[in-house]
Amino acid sequence: MAVAQVEERQLLKKLRWYDGFVICLANPGFMLGSLGFSVLDLGGWGAGLIWGLTALIIVPVTILYSELAAMFPHKSGGVSIYANEGWRKYTTLVGPVATFGYWIGWSVVLSFIGLFAGYLVQAAWFPGEPYGTYAFGGATIDHGYFQTPVGHVYIGLQHLITIGLIIAVWLFNFFGTRIAVSFNFLAGILLMFPLFCFTYLPFLNGDFTTSNLTYKLNDPGLAWGGLQIALVWIWVMIWSTAPEAAATFAPEYKDTGRDTRRALMSSAVFILFVNSMVPVALTGGVGPKTVEAYDYVGALNDLVGKSLTNFFVVVLCASFVISMNTATADGSRALFGISRDGLTITWLGRLNRWNVPGNAMTLDMVINILFVLFVGNLFGILVASNIGYVFANICAISAFILLRRDRPAWPRPIKLASYWVPIAYALCGAFIVFEVVGVGWFQIAGGGNLYGATKSKVIGFSVLVISLLLFLFRRVVQDKESPHWREETPTMPDENVAALLEQEMAPRTSATPAS
């Protein structure tokens, strides 16, 4: 999943590889939000294959990001900063678009996970209350409490629970509460309980049967022999599969090269295992109809019995709320960081009296409440954010190529072997294909027409357009500069940055950890 960095980075040189691993433990929780429709489209075998393949594709991407992260220990912003640094010599427009695309992909964790938690709470304890628009699709379960006039979303209890969680998490952070790495440990540990149930119990209790599993990618009538739907689903899955957080934290590890490499590999192997196993194990254990209906409460009833289901629902929701908490802290600090870099309006770069970026937090809260009210379902929110998120990754991967060409002598605490340049070309081309096919044919995924696909795409592109308008407003109105479309970039760091890089490289005897 996408993770933003903050200006405190230079203060933290205390992380070890297992801290980076723990940061990525929340990713399987995001997978559960789109698992059902992937099984519907691909079958249990097909879903396991494509989820696993997506995780495999992401591994070399995160390795590329490890080099980029270590190049800029003074910069906050993660993937968006890599994109801006690589492209600003050619155009200044890539930076703000990639930044807002990356930010929205991280920010919508609030509404995405909030709706997931709201649906689970209602299904477990308040099934008699109105549901409104289905949290996992655009279909209407009932007319809810009321209907929003613009998005025509029927608001049920699940949506009200989500809005309450978003506001509560905003309040928790707005008044200065800091999110520690220990909370990430707690979130990861909590999520391990239901993941263990979904992955191992079907085999241990004897419920698993291959008769529940199908492979739909070779079904007759699929466009391009099944390749089209496979590419669409890879595009969807990228959002919840990438363990790039481990690479983004590279400058904060005690041993930059060794810890980054270990964090990346352990996170990638873990996500690869979970993403490959859960679709197969869960579908084979409880049946495709339960998984396709997102009936995780029913699945838990089948696997652990009704007496333990309430406990596991609490565990799932607690881990989701902690993820929302982290999203509020990190997403808002991403906006704060890009404002300080001059890529968006100054209002977002202000700290409140509790020394946190309160304005950016408030924007995060408002945007996510609007998503809940006017999009109202997980997949609609996902497609709206994924347009910019995948584009940001395209820009960052291509930035690796550009920085190798334009800044060859720049000190690199982690320097990959030369064969990674053609690998980056191949990955960039693949991501462009994923973006084109995903945006163009998202509506074929899991009954995508029900998700308001056109509306979601309009929202996704609007975020990118707004980022350009805010960038121009910042440069022309607030900074009183004449528009310039490219910037001169240094081929070597200045004295202060060079000292930081020298410090990063000091513990290492070799600069080629991934050769």
Note the pLDDT of residue 88. Answer: 92
**492, two tokens:** 């070597």
Q: Confidence class of residue 176 from pLDDT cuts 50, 70 and 90?
A: low
Residue corresponding to tokens 């800044």? 407
Question: How large a percentage of the chain has pLDDT more than 70?
Answer: 90
Q: How far is CA 136 from CA 46, 101, 408, in A?
A: 20, 23, 47
Q: Per-domain residue ranges for the chain? A: 10-505
pLDDT digits (tens, 9 = 90+) for 192-211: 888 888 899 999 988 899 99
Query: Could you count the other beta carbons within 10 Å of the beta carbon of residue 231?
Result: 21
2 vs 46, residue with greater confidence? 46
Q: Mean pLDDT throughout 148-153?
A: 85
Predicted TM-score (pTM) of this structure: 0.88
Q: Confidence class of residue 289 from pLDDT cuts 50, 70 and 90?
A: very high
For the cut 90, the answer to whether the pLDDT of residue 324 exceeds it is no
Q: Confidence class of residue 424 from pLDDT cuts 50, 70 and 90?
A: very high
d(CA 254, CA 436): 40
pLDDT digits (tens, 9 = 90+) for 89-122: 999 899 889 988 988 888 888 998 899 999 999 9
Residue corresponding to tokens 């565990």? 315
Of 282-291, 324-333, 348-357, 426-435, the one with minimum mean pLDDT is 324-333
Q: Please check whether residue 184 is in contact with residue 22, taking contact to mean a CB–CB distance below 8 angstroms.
A: yes
- Secondary structure (DSSP) of 234-262: HHHHHHHH--THHHHTGGGBSSHHHHHHH
**342, two tokens:** 């001059």
Note the pLDDT of residue 325. Answer: 77
Note the pLDDT of residue 8. Answer: 43
d(CA 302, CA 281): 13
10-505 is classed CATH 1.20.1250.20: no
Q: What is the mean pLDDT of the chain?
A: 85
Note the pLDDT of residue 243. Answer: 78
Q: How far is CA 501 from CA 81, 297, 395, 470, in A?
A: 17, 50, 24, 32
Note the pLDDT of residue 425. Answer: 98
Q: Confidence class of residue 380 from pLDDT cuts 50, 70 and 90?
A: confident
- Secondary structure (DSSP) of 358-426: HHHHHHHHHHHHHHHHHT-SHHHHHHHHHHHHHHHHHHHHHHHHHHHHH-TTS--SS---TTHHHHHHH
Q: Mean pLDDT throughout 8-14?
A: 49
| Kind and range of the H or E run holding 59 | helix 35-71
Note the pLDDT of residue 161. Answer: 96
Torsion of Cα atoms, 46 then 47 then 52 then 58, to 10°:
120
Q: Mean pLDDT throughout 31-45?
A: 91
pLDDT digits (tens, 9 = 90+) for 125-141: 999 999 999 888 777 88
- Secondary structure (DSSP) of 115-168: HHHHHHHHHHH-TTS--BB-TTSS-BSS--SEE-TTT-PEE-HHHHHHHHHHHH
Q: Is 82 left (phi over 0), alpha (psi -120 to 50) or beta?
A: alpha
Q: Mean pLDDT throughout 59-87?
A: 86
Note the pLDDT of residue 94. Answer: 92
Buried b (16+ CB within 10 A) or exposed e, 38-76: bbbbbbbbbbbbbbbbbbebbbbbbbbbbbbbbbbbebb
Q: Confidence class of residue 5 from pLDDT cuts 50, 70 and 90?
A: very low
Note the pLDDT of residue 356. Answer: 78
Q: Confidence class of residue 158 from pLDDT cuts 50, 70 and 90?
A: very high
d(CA 511, CA 505): 8
Closest Cα to residue 36, out of 262, 299, 249?
A: 299
